[in-house]
Each structure stands twice: as C-alpha cells, then as structure tokens.
Amino acid sequence: MSGPERIERHPVLGEVGGRGEPVRFSFDGRPLGGRAGEPVGVALLAAGIRALRRSRAGEPRGIHCAIGQCMECRVEIDGLGTRRACLTPLRDGMVVRTHRDPGSADG
Amino acid sequence: MDSATTVDVAVLGAGPAGLSAAAAAAEHGRSVAVFDEGEAPGGRLVGQLHRERDGRWKVGRDEAERLRDRALGAGATIVAGVSAWAVEPGWSVYLRGDGAAPRVCHARALVVATGAGELAAPLPGWTLPGAITPGAAQVLVNVHGVLPGRRALIAGTDALGLEAAQLLEVVGASVVGVHPVAGVDGAAEPPAAALRRLVGTVGAAAPSPLLRAGGRLARGRVVARAAVPLLPRRVAGVPLRLREAVTALRGDGRVEEAELAAVGADGRLGEARRTVAIDLACVGGGLRPLVELLAGSGCELVALPGLGGVVPLHGPDQQTTAPRAFVAGGVTGVEGAAVCAAQGTVAGLAAALAAGAPPAVRRELAPARARVARRRAEATVRFHPELEPARARMRTMWEARCASA
Ligand SMILES: Cc1cc2nc3c(=O)[nH]c(=O)nc-3n(C[C@H](O)[C@H](O)[C@H](O)COP(=O)(O)OP(=O)(O)OC[C@H]3O[C@@H](n4cnc5c(N)ncnc54)[C@H](O)[C@@H]3O)c2cc1C
Ligand code: FES
C-alpha cells in the first residue's frame, strides 16, 4: 500500500488535474511541491499528507467532501488566514500550517 | 471591498441547473449573474463519468463546459469562488469571496440552484483522515487527478457508493468491498431489503454499468423476495457485500483498517468481527438537498423523503411560495444531472418572465416542462426508490396551496 498518488493518465479522461506550473510551498515548515492553481489540499494529498487540522480534542482531520461543504479540511495560510484546503488554489511560496481551534487539546 | 451589483436575474449555483437557468434567462434578454463557490462552474457534474450501454463514456466535465459556454454565449456573467450566505426578499443576495467580487447582488428575480450535498453515516472512525465521501472520490480522481488511496472499502450501499467503487477500480485502485454500514442499534439493513432498495434505484433506461448491473439485480427481483436471497457477488464489476457490515474504521492518525461483522437475514449482526487492511474508506449516507440559503427567504419548505429530505414547496414552473423566487435541480429533490438541467431551463424562463421578459416567452414553458418529464423517464439512476410518488405528492401539495391562497 503506497497511499495517495497522482494519476498520470486517467484511463478515460486522459489528462486530469491541475496543469498549472510547478510551484513550491510549505506545510508546517516542510518544503513541498505542487501545481499552481490546484487546491492546496490536493497538493498535500498528492504529497501523502492527509491530516490538515486538529479537532478540539486533538484528533487529526482531513479532506472529507472535497467540495467545500464539510469544513473538515481547514488549514492556516499565511496572508489569507483559515481556509478550506479543498477549495483554495495553491500559489507559489504559500506557507500552510495545520489548523488548530483556539483552546484545542494540543493547541 | 464593499460593492454592489444589480441584475434582472441572480442565479445561485453554477451546476447543470443553475447554468441552464442562466442561459434560458439570458437568451430572453435578461441581465443575469450566476454565483458559485466552486473555483469553476459545473457543480457536481464535473466529477461525473458514466459508461453508456454501448460502452462509450459520458464525460460530465464536457457536458459542464457545453452548459457554461451556452450561458456565457447568451450573455450571462458567471462569478466563481464566491459563496452566497444569505438572501433577502426583494431580492438581495449577500456574497463572500476572496477576490474583487461584489458583496451584494440586487435582482428582480432569484433562482436558487444550490444542488445537493452528501450525508455522513454514523460510523465510528468516519472522521479519520482517509475516510472521505464517495463524491469526494469522484472529484479527487476525475477533477484533480489524485488517487486518494490504493486499497479502498466503500461503506454505504447506494448508487453513489457503487459509482465510486467502479471509478476507483477503473483508475487502478483495488476495492475490497461495498458494504452496508452497521447502525448504532447493532443491526444493519437486512440483505434482501437492501437488494430490493437497490433494484428500486435503477432508472427505467439504465445504460451505465451500474445499471446493467441493476438489470441483473432486477432479474433477481423474485429471488430477492425469498427469505435467504441469492445475492450477486459482484455488481458492475465491483464486490457488493450486503451480508457483511462495516462496524468501525480504525487507524493511527489515518484509516488503516475496517472492522466487519456478518449480517443475518433479519439484519442482526453476528458476534464475530474480522478486520481488513485498507488505506481509503468512502463513507456515504446518501444525498440531501442544500436548502439552507432559503431559510430567510420566505419560501415554504416541506419534508419529502423520496426527494432526499427537506425541499422548497414549488410548482410546475419551478416557482416557490416567495414572489419572483425559483428553484431548480438538486435543491428541489435529488436527481441526475440531465433532469436538473431541464428543470433549470424552466426556472430560467419563469424567472425571465418575472423579471420583465415579453409575455410571449410564456409559450416556451410548456415544452420546457415536457422536457423535464422526458429526462426523468429516461433517467438511468434514481437516488430514491420513492422519487415518483414524492414528485406526485409535491404537485398535490402545490395545488392545495394555490387553491387555499
Ligand atoms: C457528491 C455528489 C455526487 C453525485 N454524483 C452523481 C452521479 O454520479 N450521477 C448522477 O446522475 N448524479 C449525481 N449526483 C446528483 C447531482 O445532484 C446531479 O447530477 C447534478 O449535478 C445536480 O445539479 P445541480 O445543478 O442541481 O447542483 P450541483 O451540480 O450540485 O451544483 C450546485 C452548485 O451550487 C454551488 N453552491 C451551493 N451552495 C452555494 C452557496 N451558498 N453559494 C455559492 N454557490 C453555492 C455549488 O458549489 C455547486 O457548484 C451527485 C450529487 C452529489 C452531491
Ligand atoms: S473537504 Fe469538505 S470542506 Fe474541504
């Protein structure tokens, strides 16, 4: 089991996903690569990172609905604040961090 | 930024329903603005992929592009990346977004086409990273090009779960099974009842593989009534496991295994548990119309389970109980994209009339309504077996409302 990965060629659709420029960004200080314009959460998933925030009790949470409805994918983005990772387009140099609710167990 | 814009018709949601409504209204000379919180128009259609009876694939994103181009070609404005958070009779739509998009839109007529959302199933462990909805699997794979896991279990035996299973296998993941979710009462849906329900969700025209499978299920209809039904092991190429329910998902910081229990003919779970190693779980509890925006609108809401839950009371021209407010698509009841688009056209024509289009436009309503009925008859999948009776009930309720008003 190798976890999430990019689909290089979709058997039906051919090219899928962001065709944006390769960009660099960071998550909790870790340098990562992604494609400009794809959702931040997608770039993180492709890098094998699924836990995006901690619940109040300190449990990890990640992408659940992928379409902006469940709010489980919240991350902190420098200059933007708290954002849904499944919707927010990735930009070069973004500094992204795990979201913690104020007063959460490990916050 | 504080800015306002004024149009004849404001459309909330750029899925097949909203885009069709926008095109119809704009084609009749109305100024139209469509708002959607997604990054691109198309709604849930962009993630969909269906195989036709002849083996060809019907690609949702292509259809979404056609609908978008038609709306733009007619002169509608589409604003993506903004959420509508309230509507006020009159109409005013309040918006939130990052860019330079307006903060409020005033409109003579309103079309709400916010679609449907997925419900979670109460399964211990559903919040673990790696537990996503079947719809999320569609979007991640077909839109964003990321395979969310290599070894998946589908929890929830409905049309969407089967679609997700099939898709994951097509793109090279292995699906260990499509299983029912154990209820909090320690029981699951009895296998024979689950089979009957699945047969009931297969539309009359059934072309896709799920639906060919549905055909097979339908032939098993008689068998399904037997006390110990003969269940197909694989449906549309995916392993359907109605006799084994998921009782929990577990893992250290992410989904690593699922716990399963045998389901008896009466739905009761056996004592024994087995676990299966996975790195992805698609957990689905069905779909429900997204009616929240209508809360402050004055539109009356009614609960009809066959339509997916609480929906706006609406008439044959997609009108609501609030003046110059119309609804179309999933928000009126969960149905496939073709039906939603046809409803959108009706709503767009009706909204155009309400916003001052020439009365001659009225003549186009009847054929547009007939197209909704036709699309429904041709539908390949029905999200609830009681859809038609619920639509009939809505008609009765609307007529009763009109008679008393
Ligand atoms: C996850 C999921 C998967 C589905 N898969 C299938 C399938 O495989 N086959 C099938 O036939 N049907 C499927 N359906 C049914 C689906 O409802 C229809 O196919 C169709 O897409 C509905 O069209 P619509 O225009 O009514 O809504 P949608 O396509 O859902 O579009 C609604 C749009 O409104 C936007 N929106 C919602 N609220 C707001 C707001 N407050 N502010 C701004 N924008 C907002 C959304 O971003 C979305 O783009 C699925 C539904 C869901 C929810
Ligand atoms: S994953 Fe549900 S809002 Fe982002």
Fold adopted by A9-97: Ubiquitin-like (UB roll) (3.10.20)
B53 and B135 fall within a common domain: no
Q: Check CB contact of A73 with chain B, cutoff 8 Å.
A: no
Query: In which band, very low, low, confident or very high, does the pLDDT at B2 lie, cut at 50, 70 and 90?
Result: low
Measure the CA–CA gap between B348 and B341, rounded to whole angstroms.
Answer: 10
Q: For chain A, what are the domain ranges? A: 9-97
Query: What number is the ipTM of this complex?
Result: 0.95
The Cα–Cα gap between B177 and B189 comes to 16
Q: Phi first, then psi: what are they for A82, rounded to 5°?
A: -75, 130
- B171 vs A7: CB contact, 8 Å cut-off? yes
The pLDDT of residue A3 is 72
CB contact under 8 A, A69 and B117: yes
Domain final residue, candidates B283, B316, B335: B283
> Is some CB atom of chain A closer than 8 A to the CB atom of B57?
yes
Q: Which residue has the tokens 């604003």?
A: B79
Residue B234 vs residue B97, higher pLDDT: B97
CA distance B239 to B232: 9
More confident residue, A29 or B160: A29
Ligand 2 atom with the smallest distance to the CA of A70 is: 2
Do B260 and B294 fall into the same domain?
no
Q: What does the pLDDT look like over B296-344, one tens digit per residue?
A: 899 999 999 999 999 999 999 999 999 999 999 999 999 999 999 999 9
Q: Which domain does B312 fall in, by range?
A: 4-118+287-404
Does the pLDDT of residue B396 top 50, yes or no? yes
pLDDT in tens, B223-249: 444 444 455 666 667 788 999 999 999
Find the closest chain A residue to B37 by CA distance. A68
- Determine the distance separating the centroid of ligand 1 and the alpha carbon of B74, expressed in angstroms: 22
Question: Number of folded domains in chain B?
Answer: 2
Query: Which whole number is the average pLDDT over B352-364?
Result: 97
Domain boundary pick from B233, B257, B283:
B283
Q: Higher pLDDT residue, B49 or B405?
A: B49
For the cut 80, the answer to whether the pLDDT of residue A106 exceeds it is: no
The Cα angle at residue B120 between residues A104 and B262, in degrees rounded to 5: 115
Q: Which of B158, B192, B199, B219 is nearest to B383 (CA)?
A: B158
Q: In terms of Cα–Cα distance, which of B59, B63, B381 is closest to B212?
A: B381
Query: In B176-332, where does DSSP find H-type helix?
Result: 191-200, 209-219, 221-225
B311 shares a domain with B197: no
List, for residues A17-62, the tens digit of each pLDDT value: 877 899 999 999 999 999 999 999 999 999 999 999 999 999 999 9
Q: Are A90 and A26 in contact (CB under 8 A)?
A: no
**Which one, of B129, B149, B133, B248, lies nearest residue A55 by Cα?**
B129
Between B53-62, B198-207, B380-389, the lowest mean confidence (pLDDT) is in: B198-207
Q: Do residues A90 and A17 make contact, with C-beta atoms less than 8 angstroms apart? A: no
pTM of the model: 0.91
B245: helix, coil or strand?
A: strand
> Looking at the structure, do residues B154 and B249 belong to the same domain, yes or no?
yes
Domain boundary among B256, B283, B310: B283
Give the pLDDT confidence score for residue B235 in this predicted structure.
Answer: 67
Chain centroid to CA A58: how far? 19
Q: Is A72 on the interface with B (CB under 8 A)?
A: yes
Domain match, B104 and B166 both: no
Residues B14 and B104 in one domain: yes
- b/e per residue, A62-99, with b = 16+ CB within 10 A? bbbbbbbbbebbbbbbeeeeebbbbbbbbbeebebebb
CB burial readout A30-46, b (16+ within 10 A) else e? eebebbbebbbbbbbbb
Question: Is the Cβ pair B144, A39 closer than 8 Å?
Answer: yes
Rounded Cα distance between B248 and B108, Å, is 50
How far is it, in rounded angstroms, from Cα B375 to Cα B335? 10
Question: How many angstroms separate the CA atoms of A24 and B305, rounded?
Answer: 47
Q: What is the DSSP string of B57-110?
A: EEEHHHHHHHHHHHHHHTT-EEEESEEEEEEETTTEEEEEESSS--SEEEEEEE
Q: Return the DSSP state at B329.
A: G
B219 alpha carbon to ligand 2 midpoint, in Å?
A: 39
Element (H, E) at B349: helix B337-354
Do B311 and B228 share a domain, yes or no? no
CB-CB under 8 Å, A7 with B145: yes
How many angstroms separate the alpha carbon of residue B132 from the centre of ligand 2?
Answer: 10
Confidence of residue B361 (pLDDT cuts 50, 70, 90): very high
Say if residue B291 is in the same domain as residue B344. yes
Coil, strand or helix at B111? strand
Task: Please tell me if residue B152 touches chain A, with a CB cutoff of 8 Å.
Answer: no
Query: Which atom belonging to ligand 2 lies closest to the Cα atom of A69?
Result: 3
Q: What pLDDT, on a 0 to 100 scale, did the predictor assign at position A104?
A: 64
* Mean pLDDT over the full length of chain B: 90
- Cα-Cα-Cα-Cα torsion A75, A80, A84, A87, nearest 10 degrees, comes to -130
In this prediction, residues B279-292 reach a mean pLDDT of 95
Q: Is A2 on the interface with B (CB under 8 A)?
A: yes
Q: What is the CATH number of the domain that holds B259?
A: 3.50.50.60
Q: Both B84 and B159 in a single domain? A: no
Share of chain A above pLDDT 70, in %: 93
In this structure, the answer to whether residues B40 and B137 fall within a common structural domain is no
Any domain includes B126: no
Q: What is the mean pLDDT of the segment spanning B215-223?
A: 47
